[in-house]
Structure 1
Amino acid sequence: MAIPLSIQWLNGQLIILDQQKLPHETEYIALNTLEDVYDAIVTLKVRGAPAIGITAAYGLAIAAQNHEAETAEAFLHFVKKDALYLASSRPTAVNLEWALNRLQESIESVRTVAAAKAQILEEAKRIQKEDEEACRAIGGYALQLLEGKSKVMTICNAGSIATAKYGTALAPFHLGKELGREFEVFACETRPVFQGARLTVWELQQSGVDVTLITDSMAAHTIGAKGIEAIIVGADRIAANGDTANKIGTLNLAILAKAYNIPFYVSAPVSTFDLLIADGKEIPIEERPATEITHIAGQPLAPNHTKVFNPAFDVTPAQYITAIITEKGIIKPDYEQNITGLLGAVSGGGAQS
């Protein structure tokens, strides 16, 4: 049993776990060009806000190695153009833009093209290393909040394959397993792309964690019937007031947690916060192809020409969130005050996109 990884930099090459093939095939593929990275993000071969950011960072670094510019200024121009292209791949996950901005800032004062190429790759590696450390810290804080609780529900996949390692929402289960602490996890299937069924169940099984799959529509009944003691989810973007965008269906769980009077936790690294967005109304919500709903494995379920609304995310208002777990500590209400306080203390203003 081992915690699976989704992103590796091996022998100068970016290797990712093709999450579209899971759970039936465990296939690692090489991404060699900017276009390869863009396609991998759009087609969900790599997904999860932190993993998207890490992959995009390596993608920008890969493209940068191939730019032949005479001056550092001209090189930076090429890099900015590539960053805009990658940033358009998925609009909701703030880590994507955050990582791309960080790489660009890292070479702004570099004087030679050769030095800039070396620097941008090293910065991508740092982002991956920092994310692994952050996820382990998140797991530690989450274990504190889950003390005395063993039955926990989650949705989508905010695990090791959505990050550098450990994950965010799944971090306490992976870390708990390492520390000899057992959980019984109930994973919602996560329609329409089934990240819960395909990915979370597979990932937790690889780590040896007790996991039970349910359909999304079973959540309310399961909370009561199985005695669920907490719900923990990840996040793709958190506004300054604590409103949180996460996979579609998360808001349903937050409302259920309120009704059943159990805690609802959001786990995310500080890079997921966007202090430039006041509240959830300003978070862009990606809409994905209709075929994700009308078809399963390429087979049609609905009549031809069926009208479809397919938002990939929803926004949970801060009032439903018991606590937000970060690598820097646990944030509790008042979120507007405490988010700014924590992020300002650790980064001089927060992880702004």
Structure 2
Amino acid sequence: MPIFMDFHDLPDGVSAKHVAEMHQADLDIEHKYNCRGLTYWCDEKRQTAFCLIDAPDKQAVLNLHHHSHGAVPQRIIEVNDTIVESFLGRIEDPEKSKKTSLNIINDPAFRTLMVVTIKHKTLRLTEIKTLKAAIRGYTSSIKTLTSEFNGRLVRQEANSFLMSFASVTDAIHCGLKIKGTQNCVITPDLDFKIGISAGIPVTEKEGIFEDTIKMAERLCEYVNKPVSITSEVKDLYESEHLNVPINSSLVHTLSNTDEKFLNHLMDHTEQVWDQTTLNASDFSKDLGYSKSQLYRKMMAVLGKSPNTFIKDYRLEQALLLLQKKTDNISEAAFKIGFNSPAYFSKCFMEKYGILPSTYIQQYIV
């Protein structure tokens, strides 16, 4: 059967003990709905709870909660148990204390997520090979540091890493230590980027921690700083350190306004980037800014003009197409919004220091 995670927005006054009682009520009648309650997370401070249930469908989860205690969840998503464990550390109830009748779990599901990417500025064959060798060396260090700071490596894809931390402080200190390893090993000119965001596992999106992952990825990929965090992460870090300000020379914090701008920009870009008629004027108009306003905003947050941003975004998509080897250069150029394959090759060469034709020949899957 599939596994579901649900989200409960707890009323004022509901404690971890109350949630434990509701969990027990679920376990008492779960067999009637062909369900199996695996575990739950409760956060008294944020007044949230999340249940993990093996069930035939979402309706069975709703029916179970409705008839056991009446607290119907605000949202239910289907999840993978391995992924849940990688983010949250468990998929079953922790062992109950012998001194208690209830298994009271005051364990928040709120997590701080960090994305780390390692890139090289060019794609020449020798540098690609050197980069891959360097990443193999850094992977061991990143895994060791993640464990040292009580984190969990959730995902590693080529040169990208996703980690989960229960503590904001651990996440930031781990990120700075990882960034510091860049200066400890003789490697080519690598570009380390780190984005850190925080949130809950179930939102309006279908994927677990989807909003939080996307924010961390966008901070890492697009903000023009080595280490970037959300304003919420900054506030949580400083509250854990008696309001001592975070070192802004080491960590860049996006304001709430800039976070909304970044998400607005990327949501729109993901919808229109492949349109050949797209230009900076249309881009600014669709986003609700004048050309000068958008230019200033993008330079401040991303360090790029609208035209450069659009071109770079398309070229990043081109890399993905070329790596699949399903399209030739002309087909890839048109798919990503270039009118001319020759102009596409020129832009590709300027950004990556190699022609797309040479890259296809040299690329090693």
Fold agreement, TM-score > 0.5: no
Q: TM bucket by the smaller chain?
A: under 0.3
Q: TM-score, normalised by structure 2?
A: 0.26
Larger radius of gyration: 2
| Higher RCO structure, 1 or 2 (CA under 8 Å, sep 6+) | 1
TM-score, structure 1 as length reference: 0.27
